[in-house]
Amino acid sequence: MRKLALAVLLSTSACAAKGPPPPSSPSPLSGNEAPKFARDTLDGRRVDTESLTGKVWVVKFFAEYCEPCKRTLPEAQRLHEKYGDVAFIGVSEDERQEDAASLVRTYGLSFPVILDRGNVLSGRFRVSQLPITFVMDAAGNVAWVGGPEQDENALERAIASVRAG
């Protein structure tokens, strides 16, 4: 009986990342080329999306004041670790660099995080609510958008689907 239960558990958890992506949240960017940008990260590195051509990449918008964002950051970190061929970029909408840095430390974020002073990137991505996550295909088009209503496996299913092409 234990073997059967384990087999069922393993097969259902493996299926979480297979199949079509979950429904995308509404966005005027869906299916269109993602905005390109080059910005410095909190730790002084430079992120330039032009260098991501040919790769699947994820841009995750969040803020310290956003409670739903705090629930989604551990999943983003886990997926960043799981999918080494997918580029993750965090965009903090916080006003203070200290707040953004605190989230990076609290959740052990190892992907680059940009402080979006003046909400320039959120404007270019037409962000109207947090958290929101954009998954771009290898051609640089917005393939999937996940808003606050997405369940915890939605991002993984979207990434897996976009990676599968």
Q: Is residue 64 over pLDDT 70?
A: yes
* pLDDT level of residue 165 (50, 70, 90 thresholds): confident
What's the pTM? 0.87
> All domains of the chain, ordered by start, with CATH?
2-164 (3.40.30.10)
Any bridge partners for residue 62, and if so which? Answer: 92
Residue that has been written with the tokens 């997918």 in this structure: 86
Query: How large is the average pLDDT for residues 116-128?
Result: 95
SS3 (DSSP) at 143: strand
pLDDT, mean of residues 47-63: 96
Q: What is the C-alpha separation between 55 and 98, in angstroms, rounded?
A: 31
88, β-bridge pairs:
58
